[in-house]
Amino acid sequence: MEKTIINLHMKKEEFLQRYQDLGWNYKEPRPFPALRVNTLLIKEEALVQRLKEKGVVLEKVPNVKHGYFIKKSPFSLASTIEYLKGYFFLQDAAAQRAVEVLNPTKQDLVLDMCASPGGKTTQMAQKMNNEGVIVSLELKKERLVALKNNLERCQVKNVIVYNINARDSPKLHLLFDKILLDAPCSGNFSLERGWFEKRDLDGIRRNAQLQKELLAAGFDALKPQGELVYATCSLEPEEDENNCSWFQKRFPVKMISFERVWPDKTHGFFLAKFVRLR
């Protein structure tokens, strides 16, 4: 029998065509870096004024409470005393949407399944006013260092960190009110130079399989009527809409919202919110 050879490597034009098929009218993106004010430590207006006096030009991000685009800065903001004091976190504007959608409160027991470097963990702590409990997981020890450093820098006090695989979340023997799964993914071309030359369908499918395993683990750790936000910085349907469809078919969950953000002023991002029905 003659074997069919499938070319898993895709050219840039083929990737862009699939994005247009998903509804994106392609234009060259110009994403701006962004920050989130840490209101646990400073009032938003006070930080904006301090940075303005140093020549930093900020623009408020719509649909995000404490986010600002960095339109101009005469120096690296990570070198400022304000950064070292934890007054802000350098975090892409679109990525800040995941915690806004999950909307954890101080009454919640929250799980962050893939937490490092801590942007979303610290954002959840901020939203919860450093109350309630967040359990943050990180498998790689070198990434664990970054997570712990950022928790300390931002003076987060309501987080417990475990050095375990997120696929082992059910082994914690806890059921969570809210779960954030910011899953490992293929990324996208606005995040990484030479992205098109490095990616193929085989790698995308491997990532999609890992994400399915993480979604299954998240379901097992979620309370009935609990909420889970699934997020990636991938633009690939295998890792986004297809995984959401799989999750709803395999488990008693309902998708109650989703957002696909195409690269423009922000990097590309995808998120979907689910509720466990039983």
Catalytically active residues are 233
Q: Identify residue 144 by its one-letter amino acid code.
A: L
